[in-house]
Structure 1
Amino acid sequence: MTATRKDARGSRSRAEILRLVAAKVSYDEIGRRLGIAPGLAYLIATGLPADGSDAPTADAHEWPGFLGSSQHLANPEPAENTTSREAVRRWVHARVEADAAMREAAARRDAVPPEQPFGDVEPDVVDVLVRDHNQVTAMLKQLATIPGAQKGGTPAQRSARASIVDLVTVALSRHEAAEEQALWPAVRQVLPAGDALADEALAQEQHGKEILQALAHLDGTAEEDGERFDDLVEELSAACRTHVAFEEKVFLQLREQMPRSDRVDLARTLDRARRHGPTRPHPHAPSEPPAVDVAGALGTAMDRMRDVAGSRPADRRGRPSADAERRTEQGAEQATESEDGD
């Protein structure tokens, strides 16, 4: 077969898939009709792997056939979680109970990655923001290793995921508020295309705030919220990958255009804003000076009052709640009794 014939066949396949997408046919059904995997149908239609390994561009949401969350196409069958096997759970539980050091380590372990030191040189704004990115990325990677509702996660696992999501919410809320107050105004002033870059970044951050707000309205441990919670987590992870890739291109330009002394001064300003920033998303608040400063102070005050008034999942630092652990143990006991009865 010649290359021309191959190209023509590929064009027809993509056109056929896009016609079905326009007709509101799901990728699962498209795959069934064409005899291919749903993830392959998505790749042909959009040029993007369904597993999210290639971060989409900022305008990808406008592409025909693009999905905010496509991981389910790459892994259509729920992955087996070996820790959901009762025999495995009993073995792990017995090992931990028999080893005091393991019990102590398990009690201390949490999902908050340690902050990496900068060394003897005072960090500039890029150093500070890249460390923020690394912290959030590490938590999202931990999150991806814990089964959610769609993969048969236990109540304890779903509770741990809810706690990590709340930790990410705190980190991103502070990070983005600090950028709004310090970084993007500087980008507008220093870089030749600063206005366009800042506008695009703020639009991406607004999308992230809306996802975090939607997650905040769900109980990640509840059966009725589980699937929607998992879908939003995937959407958040994809949005973070896109935003980090975009920002780090901006950082390269800043290092070229802004003197180091100015970058260090900006790092100090940004760090102060972050430490005193909000701990929850405020998607309806102004995001540009001078209004952002007032809105940020008000948002921070409200968030601190809410944090003091009651506990939140982030307080567990990625650990499951006692209630979720108890329900998981009860489920394991019931499964054991059922097996013994059979």
Structure 2
Amino acid sequence: MTDSSVDILADNIRETHDVLAARLSDAQESRPTRDLPRDRFRAIDPFLASASRHVAAVNAVLVPAARRLLADGSDRTRELARQSKRLEQALAQAKAKLYGSSFAVRRPWDSIWADVEQELGRQRELEEGLVGDLAEVTDEPDRAELADRLYEAEQHVPTRPHPYLPHGGIAGKVARGVALWVDRFWDTAEGRMVPEPVRPHRSREGRMVQYLLADPQLRGASGEQRD
């Protein structure tokens, strides 16, 4: 039985951004060496994939719900769509730098990561604000359903940033479907690792309690399941 005091949606958004922050930190600290010449790919690709998926899923699931349920939903979701584009632009710069694009090759990593960190932080603020306001107009089962839909959506959205594609409505849905097909092709061709999204939890038991209970959903920052 689910504890009525648990806000599964808010918890899921918070935990997802905690995981993204940890992966960003890993990406920022990665350095290629003679023994590990592709170390940056190992660290940066999982972050780019998980951040891109989360942004796309939020626009597919959370944005329509907020627009429908909140009095100022239209204005708020337009702001989130604009912020999503800014974050995806920053992620696209990191991807371009990683793969040696001439558009970013001369730009230092510190500058790129500063933009990503700033835009990801702003994205988190807007998402948590929307989720907090949704808690005022919905009950716990509705928010749990949104969390489940967000989790499912993250597994069926693009794995790379696409800042210039439509984000909302039918056009956004169609664009995400096409981009997903293309991204999956290149992910397979490049052997790219795409982590699993954070699964919603039905309780606020801490990670230690989850570990002691042998919770199969306990995952590390990189997305791998821990035994």
TM-score (norm 2): 0.73
Query: Is the 1:159–1:220 contact (alpha carbons within 8 Å) kept by the matching residues of 2?
Result: no
For 1:306, give the aligned amino acid: W
Runs of 5+ consecutive residues of structure 1 not aligned to the other structure: 1-118, 319-342
Structure 2 residue aligned with 1:274, among 154, 165, 169? Answer: 154
* Aligned residue number for residue 166 of structure 2: 286
Query: Is the 1:278–1:299 contact (alpha carbons within 8 Å) kept by the matching residues of 2?
Result: yes
* Aligned residue number for residue 109 of structure 2: 229
Shift in CA distance, 156/185, structure 1 to aligned 2, threshold 3 Å: farther
Deviation at 1:262, TM superposition (A): 1.3
1:183 equivalent to 2:44? Answer no
C-alpha RMSD of the superposition? 3.0
Shift in CA distance, 162/230, structure 1 to aligned 2, threshold 3 Å: farther
1:160 equivalent to 2:39? Answer yes
Deviation at 1:314, TM superposition (A): 6.4
TM-score (norm 1): 0.50
Query: Is the 1:124–1:267 contact (alpha carbons within 8 Å) kept by the matching residues of 2?
Result: yes
Distance in structure 2 (CA, Å) of the matches to 1:228 and 1:313? 25
Deviation at 1:311, TM superposition (A): 2.6
Greater relative contact order structure (CA < 8 Å, 6+ sep): 2
1:215 equivalent to 2:97? Answer no
* Aligned residue number for residue 141 of structure 1: 25
Shift in CA distance, 177/219, structure 1 to aligned 2, threshold 3 Å: closer
Shift in CA distance, 219/168, structure 1 to aligned 2, threshold 3 Å: closer
Q: How many residues align?
A: 193
Query: Is the 1:147–1:157 contact (alpha carbons within 8 Å) kept by the matching residues of 2?
Result: no
Query: Is the 1:279–1:303 contact (alpha carbons within 8 Å) kept by the matching residues of 2?
Result: yes
Query: Is the 2:30–2:43 contact (alpha carbons within 8 Å) kept by the matching residues of 1?
Result: no
Distance in structure 1 (CA, Å) of the matches to 2:14 and 2:85? 20
* Identity between Structure 1 and Structure 2 (%): 25
Deviation at 1:161, TM superposition (A): 3.8
Deviations 1:192-238 (A, max 9, x none): 2111111111111101111112222223789x937533311121011
| 3-state SS of paired residue (2:79) | helix
Deviations 1:99-156 (A, max 9, x none): xxxxxxxxxxxxxxxxxxxx96697332322221111011123344x276xxxx8567
Shift in CA distance, 140/158, structure 1 to aligned 2, threshold 3 Å: farther
Query: Is the 1:285–1:292 contact (alpha carbons within 8 Å) kept by the matching residues of 2?
Result: yes
| 3-state SS of paired residue (1:281) | coil
Shift in CA distance, 314/269, structure 1 to aligned 2, threshold 3 Å: closer
Distance in structure 2 (CA, Å) of the matches to 1:158 and 1:225? 17
| 3-state SS of paired residue (1:287) | coil
Shift in CA distance, 123/268, structure 1 to aligned 2, threshold 3 Å: farther
Shift in CA distance, 166/200, structure 1 to aligned 2, threshold 3 Å: same
* Aligned residue number for residue 8 of structure 2: 124
Distance in structure 2 (CA, Å) of the matches to 1:249 and 1:155? 45
* Aligned residue number for residue 249 of structure 1: 129
Query: Is the 2:30–2:39 contact (alpha carbons within 8 Å) kept by the matching residues of 1?
Result: no
